[in-house]
A and B are shown apart, each in its own frame.
Chain A
């Protein structure tokens, strides 16, 4: 398997972007948002996406005026050393994302589905299936993501609909929650949630045109944002601010709450499968991207020998934090710092570089 990922279209782009930006809705992130922003927490994913959209449009503007993928574009604008730095930085980001997701999904599997299983057993099984998926390459991952997308969305909306008897619309009031300013601040801090969207410019030419990437980002990350926003609203409607803010796994709690009658209740086991699928696919995409960003500058002929090695490194990193609360803290800290840096600085720098180049060219023409 060469580092050249093959040819993909809009559907694959949407699938990959949706899956890589979605998994944290199954973790503690929504509860932390509710705790900070209160009743208006449902707006934070929308604010984060609006900020990301602005940055990505700058990036797409630059891409339309440069050749190749993000690595070669950085090479053209800033030279090879900077391009290498950018590749290493994003590789680290994807690797850290995979690590944090792996640990949290493994912990949550223990917490919800397999309480008496050994932690190492669970994390190694996760890693094993991730290795198999990565082994088949990004096209396989992209198509699996796209095929799973309708099921994931349908299942989520089914849970939201089944939990409706527990909704109280007054839980969304006072509508400003902790304040519009607080919501905007939290939303901007969470912009890093969509860092996975950079896989589109990184894999660049594989998606044919910049327009394909644009649409894939808007529908993939945008779709994921809308679903996440509706889910946060669902948590608040069912649990109210005080209780929603104290949950570790809000979506699991919501599915546990379903009670329509003695025949339709206790359905959470069905939905654990959905979030395990989302988790595994997302971790696999992250690991693939990390490997791709190592192989791309080095021009390695194949990624496959690196897959088990990378998986082992990620597993070892994932088991380093002493407890799940520490992982959640690290996750929160990285989201609001490193991931935000990654989603803003490189696209902005490329955009400015293209503007400066165009201005210089125009001046040269006038001269």
Chain B
């Protein structure tokens, strides 16, 4: 008899273990998919929430497909993120849930003031996680970025950000997948500076405002998100990264600089370059580049100075030769390979010099010095920030053209034989 009672009791218990702990339906919860944080007067912050509307996504029963806006943006000025979360209850008749946040967007003003105090405590609260993406709103506020993020293809703005981040390494490396985890890790660890992808609101006016001219022999200009000449589509644009020193934003890397950084940290998978034709510089050659191996980084201390030697092997596939010169041929091929190597060396050295000027070790080169130390406290005692600015960094790039697309050689155009 007791066993029978126990068995029935356990069966009833199993019914109660279905997982509905909060006793709340989906339409009673405000699922927040992105948070924007801007500075506000009197030391306060303006927190913007993008709240998903599951009903609009699902559509009414039997109709299939959603109708109306799938998300709403609300802004609240508060002394802290925690108070803002509770004050959200003043205008939303649902219980806020932050566990589904995909991205935290920080306004540039606040990022320049410093993020250590605002972001550090986030890791303590269970609804935030390290796998959220962190972005900096370039040239605008985080609230504007959330409001202007109007994807054309994706249903949800959060899906847009997630898709952009997931594809960063295969779409040219012009922005990077910046997890909150890595940002926080760099704030705490000895050496290494935090970075966050830049997101801007593009006016979509096609106005060309490059941040820098092309680095010869490259053909393309350098851009930041709000200045990329483009039309139509989603005004929200991800390009470049913000660089930080001790939690404060101290500068930005343009799209080309960001690509160099992603190659250096081995996050670059493939991307095109358009390079001047070595024999006919007015013409361009398109090459699909990808890393041939992980970068080899050797470190040493020479006369008290930190020396870093970086060796990068890039592989290329030529996809277009404007001049019609037969670069498939051995000698010409070497000429082209040297041209590309020279370009990458130059761009990478410039990018590193730029970060050295602001003491921001964005590629975390200091970690390659760890094998030189036996104990943690010895490594930690080094002033890596200042050491980074003094580092002697030598970059060597080797390029191998592996393929020439679907053409084995280039026959001359009629009249140009």
Contacts and interface: CB of A to CB of B under 8 A. Distances in A.
Interface string B172-187: 0000000101001100
Contacts of A240: 185, 188-189
A39 B368 CA distance: 15
B375 A174 contact: yes
A261 B22 contact: no
A170 B368 contact: yes
A173 B368 CA distance: 10
A257 B185 CA distance: 13
Contact of B189 (A116, A117, A242, A265): A242
Interface stretch (A12-20, A107-115, A283-291): A107-115
Contacts of B126: 111-112, 115
Nearest to B186: A240
A243 B189 contact: yes
Contacts of B6: 132
Contacts of B371: 173-174
Interface in A216-244: 239-243
B131 A178 contact: no
Tell me whether chain B's interface is mostly helix, strand or loop, or mixed. Answer: helix
A53 to B, nearest CB: 28
A166 interface: yes
A243 B188 contact: yes
B230 interface: no
Interface in B81-131: 99, 126, 129-131
A176 B188 contact: no
Nearest to A182: B375
Contacts of A241: 189, 376
Interface string B11-31: 000000000011000000000
Interface string A152-195: 00000000000000101010011111110000000000000000
A114 B20 CA distance: 10
B331 interface: no
A156 B6 CA distance: 32
A174 B189 contact: no
Nearest to A269: B19
B370 interface: yes
Contacts of B374: 174-176
Interface residues of A, number: 34
A261 B375 contact: no
A256 interface: yes
B100 to A, nearest CB: 8
A240 to B, nearest CB: 5
A258 interface: yes
Contacts of A266: 99, 129, 131
Contacts of A258: 131
A174 B376 contact: yes
A179 B129 CA distance: 32
A259 interface: yes
A181 to B, nearest CB: 10
Contacts of B375: 174, 176-179
Interface in A259-296: 259, 261-262, 265-266
A178 B130 contact: no
Interface centre among B22, B367, B376 (most CB of A within 10 A): B376
A30 B222 CA distance: 47
A257 B129 contact: yes
Contacts of B184: 243
B373 A168 contact: no
Contact of A170 (B10, B162, B370): B370
A256 B125 CA distance: 12
Interface in B187-209: 188-190
B389 to A, nearest CB: 21
Contacts of A177: 375-376
Nearest to B376: A38
B42 interface: no
Interface of B: 6, 10, 21-22, 99, 126, 129-131, 159, 162-163, 166, 179, 181, 184-185, 188-190, 367-368, 370-371, 373-379
Given A176-B375, A243-B188, 17 more contacts: A111-B126, A116-B22, A117-B21, A132-B6, A166-B130, A168-B367, A170-B368, A170-B370, A173-B370, A174-B374, A174-B376, A177-B375, A243-B189, A246-B188, A259-B179, A261-B166, A262-B163
17 contacts: A38-B376, A115-B126, A116-B21, A173-B370, A175-B374, A176-B375, A177-B376, A178-B375, A178-B376, A179-B375, A242-B188, A243-B189, A246-B188, A256-B129, A256-B131, A257-B131, A258-B131
Q: Which 6 A-B pairs have the closest CB atoms?
A: A173-B370, A259-B131, A38-B376, A242-B188, A174-B373, A170-B367
